Chain A
Amino acid sequence: GQSLEQPSEVTAVEGAIVQINCTYQTSGFYGLSWYQQHDGGAPTFLSYNALDGLEETGRFSSFLSRSDSYGYLLLQELQMKDSASYFCTYNTNAGKSTFGDGTTLTVKP
């Protein structure tokens, strides 16, 4: 079948590093994306991995291992404004994107 698994909640302190893991199961896998959603807002795109390895965008990095059906989002130098929900999603070669249930990140002072 098709599925995504990620932790439901993560808590960290300001300035720390946090890693949100995601495992997936699907046929026709094409790539893994990450989205951020603040309360009351729409999800916004953070990063995308189609190939194995690490993609870095400022304080955020995302990693993919296709052989392990696994990826993660790494957030460095955490700030209070990073408190939000983070969704991993996979794209299939049919173009459709499927979202996980999201991880709620709480950043504490």
Chain B
Amino acid sequence: GAGVSQSPSNKVTEKGKDVELRCDPISGHTALYWYRQSLGQGLEFLIYFQGNSAPDKSGLPSDRFSAERTGGSVSTLTIQRTQQEDSAVYLCASSLDLGTIYFGEGSWLTVV
């Protein structure tokens, strides 16, 4: 597609369950980001992939969070043993150059 695609758009899960969030970046974009945003808050950096370099995982809040990017394209963010504080919108973005980042519409996660 023309833009960054994320799925699912909405996910309600029970506390303690694992969830997987998918991101399909813009074709050809070498950089991919995951951010988390709670209601009314700023964007919290989670992880950054750039080409074949080792990802910058410095923003992952705990070892329950992990992400991978296969073939330099699609990325999956996995949250294990979800907690209520994990409820947020998870935004994926991709870029080709250093100036412009293109965001997907986000995956809205609710942990009940």
Contacts and interface: CB of A to CB of B under 8 A. Distances in A.
B43 A95 contact: no
Interface stretch (B11-19, B63-71, B76-84, B101-109): B101-109
Given A31-B99, A48-B99, A101 B41 contact: yes
Interface residues of B, number: 21
B103 A43 contact: yes
B48 A102 contact: no
Size bin of chain A's contact surface: 20 to 34
Contacts, number: 55
Closest 6 CB pairs of A and B: A101-B42, A48-B99, A42-B103, A99-B43, A91-B98, A102-B42
Interface of A: 30-31, 33, 35, 41-45, 48, 50, 87, 89, 91, 93-102
Given A96-B56, A99-B35, A99-B45, 18 more contacts: A30-B98, A31-B98, A33-B100, A33-B101, A42-B91, A42-B103, A42-B104, A43-B43, A45-B100, A45-B101, A48-B99, A48-B100, A50-B99, A87-B42, A93-B98, A95-B98, A96-B48, A100-B42
